[in-house]
Structure 1
Amino acid sequence: MNLNQQIIFADTVFAQEVDGEMVLLDMNSENYFGLDEVGTDIWKAIEEKRVLKEVLERLLEQYDVEEEVLKNDLFIFVEKLQESGLVEVKAV
């Protein structure tokens, strides 16, 4: 994974924010996923920016954390979404 890749949400995933946290439903598997506040912020940044580099820049504005730490956390988060079939990662 690299910062020049784009995140595309699966068409079968529905997301709804409830009390500051995102709830996701994958219609294919009929599984629900809950994101905490930080996960919700990442999801929203992906919705807005799509390209990982821009997502990282947006999150760096929100959080007081070293860029390398946040980049690693972002990659881990996106990999988990990808493993669950919620997103695709493509080259820009």
Structure 2
Amino acid sequence: MIKSDQILPKHIVTQSEGNIVSDMGNEKVMLNIENGKYYNLGEIGGDIWESISKPTQVNELVHHIVKKYEVQMDKCEEEVISFLENMYQENLIELVVED
């Protein structure tokens, strides 16, 4: 695992273990067993969460979201990285080192 101040488009991210995720309508909600906190990931956040069930490069994730939700690339990259950084600070995701 990498410790970083900032997630970059070239980084690879994946879900951390210890989360219980459920569908609530079109949104996903999550309970982190370690810290006991609940999170509402929303619709797009839930899509991001599903997309990183296996290690995924942030660039690929951004392209997926741009294609699915028809959003501008630069805005999407900014928002996705911000979302991932928040999740990383809460220990919900990990940055993966490629060998």
Q: TM-score range by the shorter chain?
A: 0.7 to 0.9
Which of the residues 46, 67, 73 maps onto 1:67? 73
Is residue 55–residue 96 contact of structure 2 (8 Å, CA) maintained in 1?
A: no
TM-score normalised to structure 1 length: 0.86
1:24 is aligned to: 30
Between the aligned partners of 1:91 and 1:54, the Cα distance in structure 2 is 16
Aligned length: 92
Q: Percent identity?
A: 20
Asked if 1:12 is matched to 2:18, the reply is yes
Asked if 1:58 is matched to 2:64, the reply is yes
Between the aligned partners of 1:20 and 1:49, the Cα distance in structure 2 is 24
- Structure richer in helix, relative to its length: 1
**Is there any run of 5+ residues in structure 1 with no aligned partner, and where?**
none
**Is there any run of 5+ residues in structure 2 with no aligned partner, and where?**
1-6
